[in-house]
Structure 1
Amino acid sequence: MLIFPEPRRVSDSGSWVSYADRRWLVLPAEAGFELKEAAMCAAELLSERFFSPVEVTAGTPGAGARLLTMVRDSTLPPEGYRLETTPEQALLSASGDAGFYYGLLTFRQLLSEPCRVPLMRIDDAPDFARRGYMLDVSRCKVPAMQELKRTVDSLSALRYNELQLYMEHSFAFAGDERVWFDSSPLTPAEIMELDRYCRSRFIELVPNLNSFGHLGRWLCLGEYRGLAESPEPWYFEAWDAWYQATLAPGKEALDFIDRLYAEFLPNFTSGMLNIGCDETVELGQGRSRKLCAERGLHRVYLDFLSELVKLAGRHGRRVQFWGDIILHEPELIPELPQGVTALDWGYEANHPFRDECAKFRAAGIPFYVCPGTSAWNSITGRTANMFGNIGSAARCGRESGAAGLLLTDWGDGGHHQYWPLSWPGIAAAAGWSWNAASSVEEAVPYAVDFAFNPGGDGRLGELLLDYGRICEAFAHPGVNQTCFWGILNAPDRRCNRELLELATADEAAAALAALASWRGRMTEHPPKAPRLVLDELANSSELARLALESLAARKGGAFDAAAWNDGLRRVIGRHRDLWLARNRAGGLRESMNVLEGFLKKDIR
């Protein structure tokens, strides 16, 4: 029997018992509201497998047989549980309500066959205390509230206990409509509603507001340009890109962030705050040039970070921050303010998590490991990289004593990947953050159905993983993207020119053949999934075909420009409808502009 995430210890007798005549789910003493709600939800779902409805009680039932009894046991670890199925009933022990909740999730999986369970004992607890997912809602795509709630349900089923929505400008700050007017931002009331929804499912909604870099949507406006490190866009040669997104460190910047915190943070019940502070690429190139020359670039960075930590503390928050900048000068890590948590991010399979974790651990700084879904800038996903990146992060994090694992899911370049492309990565990170030694790869198809596609036939997850393997036709598949998306989207960037030189016509042909085979499988024997999911994958695969054909054309292959442009116009039209099926209208025009820009280019 497959249980996801894989438990630490299982003792299976090999026998089965029928609970067909059982009636009651009995709650433990002093069960909290969240557990009571979870038990009632579980009873409703389990009732579908019983002739008579399953009922929940917090008392001692006077009649009727018990299906499952929950008992508190203070010796069990936080969020851990022990589940034992006996001929009489199931017994679930835990020290806290979260442990009971996770045990209930396991019990639901044991009852996959109507009324029957294997006689067994499970002792289980997570490897990581914090198991988080971060969704980018600032790169164009802001999900509708109902979609966010469905996401929370899926994350909770996979035992995530932390959710972050990455924000730069997508909160409706009053008086700052020019910043967010075309992004359909989340309102204070929506944040509070989502916070309550998360809490009822044992998830903490942690506020995430970039407070140093990544503020281009603000700093491009005249009223805020005076806060920018670079008054005009600055060319960063290493990345072959222009930037005007970093605050000039100082009192004016702190006053600005203080105002944002005062409006933003009270809508969350979490005591934490992710202040970002990554990729401050212009620092030292503009207004702080003299200061950085005198004190050193990373010292100036640390000083301003420390001021932001104090500011967050005055708002009652403990700080998380992206750890990439301070790692450039690791001797400063011990000087980080007390109480901060460093977020060690990296999105390639060979990212040096072990070495970076060691630096934070040696300095006594709590840290998370932060891999990615590998879905963004890919069209198809990147299966091998996804498994390699998340698995490495989990193993290194566990060995190094990481406080948590935070899976990131970005929307760079217009957020063109559809939601199902993220599901395998979300499932894999859930499995490894619970049990870093488990065999997650084999279980991902089951987990995708369990969390995102209830009633599925198991094929959707397999097809998603195979879709993400198409990029492996290339010996040089790209960094933080698939090569065919990079070459189509930004062919003039230095890194993509290099990828174009490395790609071969044979590789492009092999990828096109693999894609055609995959699309044939989807058409001839589609997985059991909602129509929306099938339509999203159909449009995604058409965009992948166009991207691969454009690469093949650049390598000298035949090319019908009129037919190619017609195909892209169809993709753009469907992209609009599919976007609006899950997401708000804000950001759609920007995303479509990226696709429409391809029509104006000479493909070869």
Structure 2
Amino acid sequence: MLDNQSRITLWQTEPAALLYAQMLQGCLREYAGLEVPFTRGKPRAGDAVLTVDTALPQNRYTLSIMPECITLKAGSDEALCNGVQTLCQYIEQHGAVLPALEIEDWPDLANRGYYQDCSRGRVPKLDYLKQVADILCRYKINQWQLYIEHTYLFRDLSEAWREDTPLTAQEIMELDDYCAARHIELVPSLSTFGHMYRILSTKTCCDLCELPDSEKIPFSYTYAGNHHTLNVSNPDALGFVKGLIDEYRPLFRSSKFNICDDETFDLGKGRSKALAEEQSERSLYLSHVKALCEYLVAQGVTPQFWGDIMWRFPESCAELPKETICLNWGYLPHQRENEIRDIAASGITQYACPGVCGWNRWMPLMYNSYLNIRTMCHHAHKYNAIGLLNTDWGDYGHVNDPRLTIPGVLYGAAFGWNAEPVEFDELNEAVSRLYYGDTTGQFAGLMAKLQDYEVFDWRNTVNWIECDEKTRA
């Protein structure tokens, strides 16, 4: 099929397609033993042709592998990138002798995201983050969020990050550039209400914390995770988080911003108690979220927030700007549809947000993750959610090796692209062959069985270490 006269030919493509030609060239070198140069211009017989055909829908590509040539046509540059990933997967499986085929492919969900915790444990280096971006591109995940509480180098918050190795503005901008070339939208995500432990426990910012003297309590995973909500009754609180947003948001191309605002456990229980009794906890929560959403919309930015609090009063969604997106999460294997159904009924736009089920575990619950992602994807389609955001949280220090959650990430990629049910064993066989290079197709399935041998998980370990002697006895 391809020989020493063949070329990877770019025909009527954007300049960015050079990167996809390089990806294909590297794949042919590694898996087929062929050194195929690339060029630009009118293709010849025997070439591997990458071309944009505007007659196709923008999200669609066709791939034809015939004895005389390989032809990949796409409706847009992004679809061309996705098509190259499919072609590379065939080369990885078959080497230089590819099966003859013709396929037409497109995603079921336009927004297919991955959410990575970079705050509650290890802070990844830029080189590693670029490796993650390569994985996301290979499996057609087109949105990515890094969860930041304090692990970005805010210029005036050295008390919060000085014991960590925070991501810098230069690193974020470089990563954003790297992602954009691979059609991954790097969406900024920042805690602006709950889960602000490191910031609100500093001498500089402790007065903004809901609980008085909270900064004097020694660190523990359980206390840090369950407390440190912003005191929204403080007149300086809203301006403070707006300042954080103003410093962080310009680093990104994305026109979206996730303000988080989940798990505000302390709201109305400390410094804002009197105001909560006067106005209600609902009013306090909604007022802060609405103000931030309106602030972003006024700048042409689409706000996102986690939906666990708002689901208690979904009718209040109508008070938020119409551009707002609710990130509706739920992590049970057979997660009920109530939350997504009720938010859909409120009229607000939403993503369905399942998870890789690795938090608080030595070994991720891979079968739970598979069921959860499949179920949430079903809910997404039933209630017209516009995307899937697959979460990878790091509660209690992100103890598990991040490589162990890769199968869960790929389950999200699979169901985000194609909502048709695929059995667990079949999906694990594909993950084994495509990601791990296991020709037997057994590795991921065997890996999934390891969860059955964890008898004392990390959550129980932390609770045992951090509880008092009386409770432990």
- Structure 1 and Structure 2 fold alike (TM over 0.5): yes
TM-superposed CA distance for 1:468, in Å, is: 2.3
Q: 1:355 aligns with which of 321, 332, 338?
A: 338
Calculate the aligned-residue CA RMSD, in Å.
2.6
1:67–1:38 CA distance, 2 compared to 1 (3 A): closer
Matched, 1:107 2:87: yes
> Does the 8 Å CA contact 1:25/1:56 hold for their aligned counterparts?
yes
The 5 Å alignment of 1:73-472 reads 73-76=54-57, 78-111=58-91, 112-233=93-214, 243-249=227-233, 251-352=235-336, 354-439=337-422, 441=424, 442-447=426-431, 450-451=434-435, 453-454=436-437, 458-470=441-453
The equivalent residue for 1:27 is 10
> Does the 8 Å CA contact 1:219/1:227 hold for their aligned counterparts?
yes
> Does the 8 Å CA contact 1:262/1:315 hold for their aligned counterparts?
no
TM-superposed CA distance for 1:211, in Å, is: 0.7
User: For residue 425 of structure 1, what is the amino acid of its counterpart?
Assistant: G
1:245–1:299 CA distance, 2 compared to 1 (3 A): closer
What SS does structure 1 have at the residue aligned with 2:6? strand
Q: 2:460 aligns with which of 487, 496, 500?
A: 487
- For the pair shown, the structure with the greater C-alpha radius of gyration is 1
Deviations 1:158-199 (A, max 9, x none): 110011110000001113111100110000001011111111
Deviations 1:457-513 (A, max 9, x none): 644423321112335xxxxxxxxxx7643333214xxxxxxxxxxxxxxxxxxxxxx
TM-superposed CA distance for 1:155, in Å, is: 1.2
User: For residue 243 of structure 1, what is the amino acid of its counterpart?
Assistant: H
Deviations 1:51-100 (A, max 9, x none): 65222223125x66312342413332x33212122332122222111111
1:280–1:344 CA distance, 2 compared to 1 (3 A): same
What SS does structure 2 have at the residue aligned with 1:27? strand
Deviations 1:375-395 (A, max 9, x none): 111112212311121111111
User: For residue 44 of structure 1, what is the amino acid of its counterpart?
Assistant: G
Matched, 1:43 2:25: yes
User: For residue 398 of structure 1, what is the amino acid of its counterpart?
Assistant: H
> Does the 8 Å CA contact 2:356/2:366 hold for their aligned counterparts?
no
1:381–1:89 CA distance, 2 compared to 1 (3 A): same
> Does the 8 Å CA contact 2:64/2:100 hold for their aligned counterparts?
yes
1:185–1:456 CA distance, 2 compared to 1 (3 A): farther
Partners in 2 of 1:226 and 1:315 — Cα distance? 29
1:251–1:23 CA distance, 2 compared to 1 (3 A): farther
Give the fraction of aligned pairs with identical amino acids, expressed as a percent: 31
TM-superposed CA distance for 1:40, in Å, is: 1.6
What SS does structure 1 have at the residue aligned with 2:305? strand
Matched, 1:55 2:63: no
Q: Which runs of 5+ in 1 are unaligned?
A: 1-17, 472-481, 492-593
Q: Which runs of 5+ in 2 are unaligned?
A: none
> Does the 8 Å CA contact 1:67/1:90 hold for their aligned counterparts?
yes
> Does the 8 Å CA contact 2:212/2:270 hold for their aligned counterparts?
yes
User: For residue 56 of structure 1, what is the amino acid of its counterpart?
Assistant: F
1:335–1:271 CA distance, 2 compared to 1 (3 A): same
TM-superposed CA distance for 1:287, in Å, is: 2.9
> Does the 8 Å CA contact 1:348/1:389 hold for their aligned counterparts?
yes
What SS does structure 2 have at the residue aligned with 1:368? strand
Partners in 2 of 1:326 and 1:32 — Cα distance? 44
1:154–1:50 CA distance, 2 compared to 1 (3 A): closer
1:322–1:602 CA distance, 2 compared to 1 (3 A): closer
> Does the 8 Å CA contact 2:188/2:256 hold for their aligned counterparts?
yes
Partners in 2 of 1:287 and 1:22 — Cα distance? 75
> Does the 8 Å CA contact 2:55/2:75 hold for their aligned counterparts?
yes
What SS does structure 2 have at the residue aligned with 1:468? helix
TM-superposed CA distance for 1:403, in Å, is: 1.0
User: For residue 264 of structure 1, what is the amino acid of its counterpart?
Assistant: Y
User: For residue 115 of structure 1, what is the amino acid of its counterpart?
Assistant: A
Partners in 2 of 1:51 and 1:370 — Cα distance? 41
Partners in 2 of 1:69 and 1:168 — Cα distance? 42
User: For residue 97 of structure 1, what is the amino acid of its counterpart?
Assistant: D
The equivalent residue for 2:51 is 70
Deviations 1:114-148 (A, max 9, x none): 32222222121111111111111110211122111
Aligned length: 464
Partners in 1 of 2:85 and 2:226 — Cα distance? 48
User: For residue 287 of structure 2, what is the amino acid of its counterpart?
Assistant: D
User: For residue 447 of structure 1, what is the amino acid of its counterpart?
Assistant: V
1:301–1:601 CA distance, 2 compared to 1 (3 A): closer
The equivalent residue for 1:575 is none
User: For residue 352 of structure 2, what is the amino acid of its counterpart?
Assistant: V
The equivalent residue for 1:14 is none
The 5 Å alignment of 1:477-556 reads 484-491=457-464
